[in-house]
Amino acid sequence: MSAQEPQDALVIFTPSGKRGRIAIGTPVLQAARQLGVDLDSVCGGRGICSKCQVAPGYGEFAKHGVSVAPDALSPRNAVEDRYDRVRGLKEGRRLGCQARIMGDVVLDVPPESQVHRQVIRKSATERVMQMDPATRSYYVEIAQPDMHDPTGDFQRLQAALEKQWQISGLQADLQILRELQPVLRKGNWTVTCAIHHDHAGPPRLTAIWPGYHDAPLLGLAIDLGSTTIAGHLVDLTDGHVLASSGLMNPQIRFGEDLMGRVSYAMMNPGGDIAMTDAVRDALATLASALATEAGADPAAIVEAVVVCNPVMHHLLLGIDPVELGQAPFALATCDSLSLGAAEIGLNTIAPAARAYLMPLIAGHVGADAAAVALSEAPEARDALSLVVDVGTNAEILLGNRKGVLACSSPTGPAFEGAQISSGQRAAPGAIERLEIDPATREPRFRVIGCDLWSDDPGFAAAAPAITGICGSGIIEAVAEMRMSGLIDASGLIGSAEQTGTPRCQPMGRTHDYVIHDAPASGGPRISVTQGDIRAIQLAKSALYAGARLLMDEIGVDRVDRVVLAGAFGAHISPKHAMVLGMIPDVPLDAVTSAGNAAGTGARMALCSVAARRAIETQVRRITKIETAIEPRFQEHFVAANALPHATDPFPELAKIVTLPDVSFNTGGSGGEGTRRRRRG
Ligand code: FES
C-alpha cells in the first residue's frame, strides 16, 4: 500500500474491518485484493459473474471515524446497468469490479460475495464451518491458435490462467484434454474452468464449459459403511446440502460383517475384485440418484469426499483386505488420498472429477472415525468427551485438549436389530420406542410410521402393520425389562410365576417376554427372547469395554460427557443406554446425540481444504488402541456383561432409576453371555 497521499481515500471493508488508503480511481475489487479482503470473482473483473457485489454505506460512520459522501464511488456504468437490466442487481449493490473508489468509503461485503464465507452447521454443537473448497470456478479468455507461434490449446489455457488468475502449473488428465478443443472453440476462446487445488497437489483442471458458466460447482460427501452407504450432494459455493440419499452396501451378499468380507476375499479367488466392483457400482448409482433428486447436472459434480472403515477403504481402492483380517492388521496405506474420482468407480459425474479419501486412524479404526473426530473435535474442549459411533463396529474416541485416543470395538449388528429374533432394520412397522408399566408389567410401544402409542385410542387404525423391532426398540425393551424386574442383573428373564405376568412364557429352558401377539390379524408374534438379551449383552459389553479400555489408558474412572454419533445414536434414549450399561455413568444431560457425525465430517472436508489439513494433523496425534490384542479388553468385557455392570458403580443412574434387586437364577442357562463376539 502506498503512503498517504492527497489522492488516496480511506476504504473500510465490513464485516472484516480491514481498512487502508487506496488511490482514487481504483476499482473496489482491486482495493479488496490490496487490503486482503475476501471478495469473490469468477470472471476476473469482466462484469459477467456478479460475484463481486458490495454494498456501499453513505453518511457518518462515527465508529469508523469516517464520513462517506454520495459520490464516494464512481457512478454506475454501462456494465452495471446492463447487468441490472438482464439479471437484476439488488437495491444498493454495486459490482466491485466496475465501481471505482472516488472518496472515503465504507463497503460491506455480503456473505454471498465472500469466498470463505462461514456457514453455521445445524447440529448439536452448532460450530461454524468455514467455506474453503478445493475446487473453484475461473472464467478465462484464451489466445487463439497462431500458425506463427505454434502452441497447444492447453498450453495457451495454462498461460491465460497464469496471467489472469496467477494459477501456475495447471495439470489436466486425459479425460479433460479430450474435451478441451471443442469447448474452447464453442466458447469462442472464452471458457469457465473448474480447478481443483487442494493442499496436497498441483492445480488440476476438472471440468470446463464454453463461455461464462453460471451454475454452481457441486460435490459429494459419502459415508461408506459396511451396511449402508449414505451420500449428500453439496453446493460447493455455500456448503448447502441439495440432496441426501442412501442405499444398502451391495457387498452384504458377500458377507454380513467386515470379517465375513475379509474371509470371502481370502477363500474365493477374485472375491475382492467382485466386492470392489459391487461397491463402485453402488457409488456411481448413488451419485446419479443424488443428481436426479436435486435436479442437477451430474457433470457439475466435480469432487467427492469418501469416509469409510479400513476394510471398505481397501475394497473401494481395489486393495485386497486380507492383511486386515489378522494381526498386526497392517494397512496398505493410512494417509489421505487424492485421486481421480473415476478411479474409484465414480464415472457418472464430471469425467475428470477428483476424489479425496480421508486418512485412516489404524487397522481397525477408519476414516469414518476420523470424520467423527473432525466433526466433534474432542481436542477442542477441556471436558473429557467420550464419542461413540455405533454401528456393526463401534468407533470410540476419548479425549480433550490434552489428547485423544481411539479404538474400535466389535459390537456386532444387534444394535441395528440384526441377530434379534423379532429384529428388523428401522422401517415403517418396526417398534422403535417401548415402555413397560412397572406395576402391571404391560408394554406400550410406538412403531415407525405412527406417532401414537399402542395404548392410545385410534392406534390400531392409524399404525402400519407391526412387523418387528428395530435397534432403538430392542435397547428400550431390554432396559425396560430390567427396570420393571422382568430380567435380573445377569440378564436372565424370569418365569410367569417369578415375574407375575403371563407375558413371560416358557420357551425351551428359558423364557420369552411377549410384546405383541395378534394371531387373529395374522401379525407376527413379537417377543424378546433370552437369546436376544444375550445378543444385546454381548454388543453392549463390547462397547463399554472399549470405552473402559480408553479410560484406563488415561487413568480415569469418569468422563465428563458422552456423545452418541451415527444414525443409530440419534435414536438411542440415553437413560435406556445407561440402564443397559452401554455407556459409562454420567449425568443424563451430559449425553448428547451428534447425528451422523461421520457424514458431517465428510461434508466439512468437502467444503474446506483447511478441514482436510486439520484432520490429517489430528489423525497423526490420536493415540490408537487395538482392542483385539488387549487382555484388559476381555476382563472389561466380562465385567460389563451384567446389567448395568458387575462392579462399576452407576451413581448418576441411581439418582433417576432404582433397579429392582431380583434374581431368577435357579441353576438354568445364562452362561453364554460371556462369550466374546468375533470382530465384525
Ligand atoms: Fe465478475 Fe465483477 S468480478 S462481475
> Is the shortest distance between the CB of 47 and ligand 1 below 6 Å?
yes
Instruction: Please give the Cα distance from 312 to 310 (Å, whole number).
Output: 5
User: Is residue 409 helix, strand or coil?
Assistant: strand
> Is the shortest distance between the CB of 43 and ligand 1 below 6 Å?
yes
> Is the shortest distance between the CB of 484 and ligand 1 below 6 Å?
no
The reported pLDDT for the residue numbered 521 is 62
Instruction: Please give the Cα distance from 532 to 188 (Å, whole number).
Output: 69
Secondary structure of 414-438 in the HEC alphabet?
HHHCCCCCCECCCCCCEEEEEEECC
Closest CA to 671 of 490, 539, 513, 410: 490
Instruction: Please give the Cα distance from 47 to 558 (Å, whole number).
Output: 60
Yes or no: say if 545 and 448 are a contact pair by the CB < 8 Å rule: no
Yes or no: say if 107 and 28 are a contact pair by the CB < 8 Å rule: yes
Instruction: Please give the Cα distance from 322 to 277 (Å, whole number).
Output: 17
How many A from CA of 111 to the centre of ligand 1?
15
> Is the shortest distance between the CB of 30 and ligand 1 below 6 Å?
no
CA angle 145, 151, 152 (to 5 degrees): 85
Residue 522's pLDDT band (cuts 50, 70, 90): low
- Residues 6 or more apart whose CB falls under 8 angstroms from that of 159 comprise 143, 151
pLDDT tens digits, residue range 534-584? 999 999 999 999 999 999 999 999 999 999 987 667 788 889 999 999 999
Yes or no: say if 98 and 206 are a contact pair by the CB < 8 Å rule: no
> Is the shortest distance between the CB of 49 and ligand 1 below 6 Å?
yes
Phi first, then psi: give them for residue 371, nearest 5 degrees: -65, -40
292-331 exposure pattern, b = at least 16 Cβ within 10 A, e = fewer: eebebebbbbbbbbbbbbbbbbbbbbebbbebbbeeebeb
C-alpha cell at 214: 453460471
Sequential DSSP letters for 128-146: EEE-B-SEEEEEEE-PPP-
12-39 exposure pattern, b = at least 16 Cβ within 10 A, e = fewer: bbbebebbbbbbeebbbbbbbebbebeb
How many A from CA of 501 to the centre of ligand 1?
75
Instruction: Please give the Cα distance from 632 to 637 (Å, whole number).
Output: 8
DSSP 150: -
pLDDT of 1 higher than 60: no
Closest CA to 610 of 330, 307, 198: 198
The reported pLDDT for the residue numbered 126 is 44
Yes or no: say if 680 and 325 are a contact pair by the CB < 8 Å rule: no
User: Is residue 362 helix, strand or coil?
Assistant: strand
Instruction: Please give the Cα distance from 347 to 340 (Å, whole number).
Output: 10
Residue in this structure with the C-alpha cell 488516496, named with its chain if needed: 8
Residue 596's pLDDT band (cuts 50, 70, 90): confident
Mean pLDDT of the chain: 90
Beta strands of 336-429 (E only): which ranges? 337-340, 354-357, 385-390, 394-400, 403-409
> Is the shortest distance between the CB of 32 and ligand 1 below 6 Å?
no
> Is the shortest distance between the CB of 48 and ligand 1 below 6 Å?
yes
Task: Name the percent of the chain lying above pLDDT 90.
Answer: 71
In the β-sheet with 510-516, what is the strand arrangement from edge to edge? 504-507, 510-516, 526-528
Yes or no: say if 106 and 133 are a contact pair by the CB < 8 Å rule: no
Strand partners, 309: none
Least confidently predicted of 149-163, 283-297, 463-477: 463-477
> Is the shortest distance between the CB of 576 and ligand 1 below 6 Å?
no
How many A from CA of 368 to the centre of ligand 1?
39
Tally helices (H) and strands (E) across the chain.
Answer: 18, 31
pLDDT tens digits, residue range 209-258? 999 998 999 999 999 988 889 999 999 998 889 999 888 889 988 887 78
The reported pLDDT for the residue numbered 120 is 53
Query: Which helix (H) or strand (E) covers residue 515, if one does?
Result: strand 510-516
How many A from CA of 208 to the centre of ligand 1?
19
- Residues 6 or more apart whose CB falls under 8 angstroms from that of 270 comprise none
Average pLDDT of 155-164? Answer: 97
Q: Which amino acid is at 489?
A: A
Strand partners, 9: 22
Distances (CA, A) of 337 to 98, 317, 493: 41, 10, 50
pLDDT of 442 higher than 60: yes
pLDDT tens digits, residue range 80-131? 999 999 888 998 999 999 999 999 999 999 988 988 877 655 443 445 677 8
Closest CA to 221 of 229, 210, 213: 229
Residue 679's pLDDT band (cuts 50, 70, 90): very low
> Is the shortest distance between the CB of 291 and ligand 1 below 6 Å?
no
End-to-end CA distance of the chain: 62
Instruction: Please give the Cα distance from 19 to 12 (Å, whole number).
Output: 4
C-alpha cell at 158: 495454462
> Is the shortest distance between the CB of 99 and ligand 1 below 6 Å?
no
Parallel, antiparallel, or unpaired: how do β-strands 218-224 and 228-235 relate? Answer: antiparallel
Protein residue whose Cα sits closest to atom 3 of ligand 1: 45
Residue in this structure with the C-alpha cell 484434454, named with its chain if needed: 177
Beta strands of 228-350 (E only): which ranges? 228-235, 241-248, 301-308, 337-340
The reported pLDDT for the residue numbered 567 is 66
pLDDT of 610 higher than 50: yes
User: Is residue 619 helix, strand or coil?
Assistant: helix
Yes or no: say if 494 and 511 are a contact pair by the CB < 8 Å rule: yes
Residue in this structure with the C-alpha cell 405412527, named with its chain if needed: 450
C-alpha cell at 10: 480511506
How many A from CA of 236 to the centre of ligand 1?
19
C-alpha cell at 33: 485484493
> Is the shortest distance between the CB of 523 and ligand 1 below 6 Å?
no
Phi first, then psi: give them for residue 200, nearest 5 degrees: -105, -25
Closest CA to 205 of 233, 238, 167: 167
Sequential DSSP letters for 163-181: HHH---S-EE-HHHHHHHH
Average pLDDT of 62-78? Answer: 93
pLDDT tens digits, residue range 269-322? 999 999 999 999 999 999 999 999 999 999 999 999 999 999 999 999 999 999
How many A from CA of 35 to the centre of ligand 1?
18
Residue in this structure with the C-alpha cell 485421486, named with its chain if needed: 339
Yes or no: say if 205 and 191 are a contact pair by the CB < 8 Å rule: no
Closest CA to 398 of 627, 628, 679, 640: 627
